[in-house]
């Protein structure tokens, strides 16, 4: 049986089900958002060995505090906000060290070997460039480009204004373009 996207329960429906004690709803939410959170945290500089733990912590914190999510913004945005704060705590504990790691196994799998090599090099360059940005520029860039979010939602995630997020984005792009030559 083919299930179309419109047949799938929405995030607010799953949240309501979880609040009513339905564990399967929580499982469904993890399946839906784990990959995006993983990519975001990896790009934001979490140590490779800590990404999975941070994603789990994000879900635990979210599931225990769903009353804090009003349903006004997207659930994913709220999850990113929790993840971003958890990552900030980790950075604080490690005295600001950014754990950006270059790891070949994280690179996309492409069928074209020549294209894959070029993409790998470019992606590694971008990872290095990101690690050199101030954290707000790095996170705004990721939320905007990697996660495809709009400035209003980004502002909600990072606790800033859409205008400020836009400025951070432009600074990030300028510096990354210079870095990537």
Partner 1 sequence: MIDCSELSGRMPDVIAGRSEWSAEEARHLTECDVCAAEWRLVRIGSVLYAGREVATERMVQDVLVRLRAGEPVALVPRLSWRKFAMGLAAAASVALAVWVPNRAHQSAVMALPARLGPVLPNLSNVTDEQLYRISLANAGHLADGVPGTVPHLGGLTAADLEQLSSLTETR
Taken as a whole, the chain contains a residue count of 181
Q: Single out the residue of 17, 13, 16, 59 nearest to residue 36, CA to CA.
A: 59
Q: Are 106 and 138 in contact (CB under 8 A)?
A: no
Question: Token pair of 36, please?
Answer: 């995006």
Question: Token pair of 42, please?
Answer: 């990896």
67 contacts partner 1 (rule: CB under 8 A): no
Q: Site for partner 1 (CB under 8 A): how many residues?
A: 49
d(CA 19, CA 63): 8
101 contacts partner 1 (rule: CB under 8 A): no
The CB-of-81 to partner 1 minimum distance in angstroms stands at 15
The CB-of-116 to partner 1 minimum distance in angstroms stands at 10
The CB-of-70 to partner 1 minimum distance in angstroms stands at 20
Q: How many CB atoms lie within 10 A of CB 156?
A: 20
d(CA 123, CA 108): 9
The CB-of-127 to partner 1 minimum distance in angstroms stands at 7
d(CA 31, CA 27): 6
93 contacts partner 1 (rule: CB under 8 A): yes
Complex with partner 1: residue 16 or 52, whichever CB lies closer = 52
117 contacts partner 1 (rule: CB under 8 A): no
Q: Which residues are at the interface with partner 1 (CB under 8 A)?
A: 23, 26-27, 30-31, 34-35, 38-39, 42-43, 50, 52-53, 55-57, 59-61, 63-64, 89-90, 93-95, 97, 105-109, 119, 122-123, 126-127, 141-142, 144-146, 148, 150, 173, 176-177, 180
């Amino acid at each position: 049986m083919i299930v179309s996207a419109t047949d799938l329960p929405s995030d607010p429906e799953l949240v309501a089900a979880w609040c009513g004690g339905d564990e399967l709803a929580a499982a469904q939410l993890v399946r839906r958002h784990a990959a995006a959170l993983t990519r975001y945290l990896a790009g934001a500089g979490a140590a490779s060995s800590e990404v999975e733990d941070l994603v789990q912590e994000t879900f635990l914190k979210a599931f225990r505090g769903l009353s804090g999510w009003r349903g006004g913004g997207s659930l994913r945005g709220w999850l990113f906000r929790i993840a971003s704060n958890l990552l900030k705590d980790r950075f604080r504990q490690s005295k600001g060290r950014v754990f950006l790691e270059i790891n070949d196994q994280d690179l996309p799998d492409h069928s074209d070997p020549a294209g894959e090599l070029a993409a790998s090099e470019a992606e590694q360059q971008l990872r290095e460039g990101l690690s050199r940005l101030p954290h707000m520029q790095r996170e705004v860039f990721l939320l905007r480009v990697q996660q495809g979010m709009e400035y209003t939602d980004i502002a909600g995630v990072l606790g800033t204004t859409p205008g400020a997020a836009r400025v951070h984005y432009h600074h990030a792009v300028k510096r990354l373009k210079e870095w990537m030559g």
